[in-house]
Chain A
Amino acid sequence: MNMILTLRRRRRVNRSFLGSFALFLFLAVFGAFMVLPLIYAINAAFKPLDEIFLFPPRLFVRNPTLDNFIDLVELLGNSWVPFTRYIFNTVFITGMGVLGHVLFASAAAYPLAKHKFPGRNVLFQIVVLSLMFSPAVTSIPNYMIMSWLGFVDTYWAVILPAFAYSLGLYLMKQFMEQIPDALLEAAKIDGASEYRIFWSIVMPNVKPAWLTLIILVFQILWGTDGNGFIYSEQLKTLHFASNQIIQGGIARAGVGAAVALILMSVPITIFIFSQSRIIETMATSGMKD
């Protein structure tokens, strides 16, 4: 093994030490720019109020305290809608949205990747085209459609569009293309139906792509404030509640930092545990001519 490694290393082009040093310094400087605001946010959540408003401001906390979290619990104990309700709303919307998206997008991606049926290219082109504009373009007609369907002020106004999120379908289809056809042919010869092939052969083989779809949709829904569809206080999301707290002014700065820390730690934790699978999926994300 060692010999192969040294051989391979020798074959590759020389990397000048100075070049490497400059590049890694560059990476470190910008890495610091990326991570410092997050480190500040984490520290702010544990700062007592007098440290948040300290001059000159400090990055790291000196006397860490859990006061902000205790204040948060107290503040929410007094609110009109119990805080657990906001948590339930966000968890329900995110959970349903993620589950439905992975199922529906995978079911649609399988024929698009593996079957040659009439209309396949047109459908996929439309999906690719939809990656090229942001949801803002469709926001007004979407509101009308939601109100015709009677979904305004329900969870479904946020969940249903997430099912049909087009980036997920795109990535899943690209990933499924690398499943060997022979595997599917063999199952077909054994008499398995298309649905069975999809469920017991294709789906277990695309687990890395599930995780990618999960984190993409999770991050959108976890941070949603209802997109203007949800009015009832008892249906509002955690993110909406946290915005209310942060807007509460100076006295709430610490509590706001605590909520923000709770909100951001969940998607980041999921990413830490699924990083290698997600990278594996992204390897097939390319657009072919």
Chain B
Amino acid sequence: MSNITVEQTAPAGTGRQPRLRTWWAVRKREMKLHKHSYLLMAPYMLLFFTFTVLPVLMSLLISFTYFNMLEFPRFIGWQNYARLFLEDEVFLIAVKNTLLFAAITGPVSYMACFIFAWIINELGPKLRAFMTLVFYAPSISGNVYFIWQMIFSGDRYGIANGFLIKMGIILEPILWLKTEKYILAIIILVQLWLSLGTGFLAFIAGLQTVDKTLYEAGAVDGVKNRWQELWYITLPSMRPQLMFGAVIQLTTSLAVADVSINLAGFPSVNYAAETIVTHLIDFGTIRFEMGFASAIATVLFILMVGTNLIVQRLLRKVGQ
């Protein structure tokens, strides 16, 4: 309040200066008042800025240079980006694969998280806890790619081959992970298997917190079956969790790399499983072309944040 009275009593001619000064004075006083808040946040924020914010800015700067870790970076303008989009054919394959993975695993895993959470929520408490564990366990079981390597192993001892040969569907074992036309499908399958993680738990929790009286009111107002209940009551009340889950699933689906490297090898046959992230790893840790790798990182950053912001905007419209 006090700053307003100061402003009014100040002479008209020097209006701008004092207002600015008082604005700063107020801010400064506020900051001083909250010095404990800043102190509490300091350790986390120091690390967060060092290992997350600063790297994003550095990556942007380095992407405009030629840099091999030995010599001082040399500014080369847009050359890295021009090379990336016009000359690097493998990058275009990587972009195509990444978008394909994301377009399938993103929406499918998002809907799977919700649908399974929704059905599980109808179960009794004991069974609910058990089914939650069943669906969540793959995502925390660590890097269990070796199971999938055994399942899709190229000899007849592989589970998939053994099963299909026994059924008489195929006669000779298939080299699943070395055949271009199967690689993408297998990676998508494994990625989906791993994808019921944090978003899934958020949905389970969200469904349990939907106000029960809304359902009773809905029944009175003419909601006829569970599908209408889902559409008119459950989904709109879960909008915050739906938005959070979307960020988690989308970011994961654009970052596919570990599954590809562990199942299809690195590099994969004819780059059939190359993604933007594996391309980044290739140039950043093997070829040491840091400027070029940073350009890839920057493209990935823009792609991820851009898609997320668009999806957030769309989800904000749910139930409006």
Chain A residues engaging chain B, CB cutoff 8 angstroms: 8, 11-16, 19-20, 23-24, 26-27, 30-31, 33-35, 37-38, 40-41, 44, 52-57, 104-105, 107-108, 110-112, 115, 117-118, 123, 126-127, 129-134, 136-142, 144-145, 160-161, 163-164, 166-167, 169, 193-195, 198, 215-216, 219, 222-223, 228, 239, 243, 246, 253, 256-257, 260, 263-264, 267-268, 271-272, 275-276, 278-283, 285-289
Contact = CB atoms under 8 A, between A and B. Distances in A.
A94 to B, nearest CB: 12
A115 B250 CA distance: 31
A139 B206 contact: no
B50 A145 contact: yes
Nearest to B298: A137
A194 B300 contact: no
Interface of B: 27, 30-31, 33-34, 36-38, 40-41, 43-45, 47-48, 50-56, 58-59, 62, 112, 116, 119-120, 122, 129, 131-138, 140-144, 146-148, 150-151, 156-159, 162-163, 165-166, 193, 196, 198, 201-202, 204-206, 208-209, 212, 215-216, 218-220, 223-226, 228-229, 238-241, 243-244, 247-248, 250-252, 254-255, 257, 277, 280-281, 284-285, 290, 293-294, 297, 300-301, 304-305, 308-309, 312, 316
Contacts of A104: 43-44, 47
Most buried by A among B34, B129, B280: B34
Contact of B54 (A44, A141, A160, A286): A141
Contacts of B250: 132
Given A57-B158, A164-B52, A271-B136, A282 B40 contact: no
Contacts of A20: 122
Nearest to B38: A117
A19 B226 CA distance: 9
A283 B156 contact: no
Contacts of B33: 117
A160 B47 contact: yes
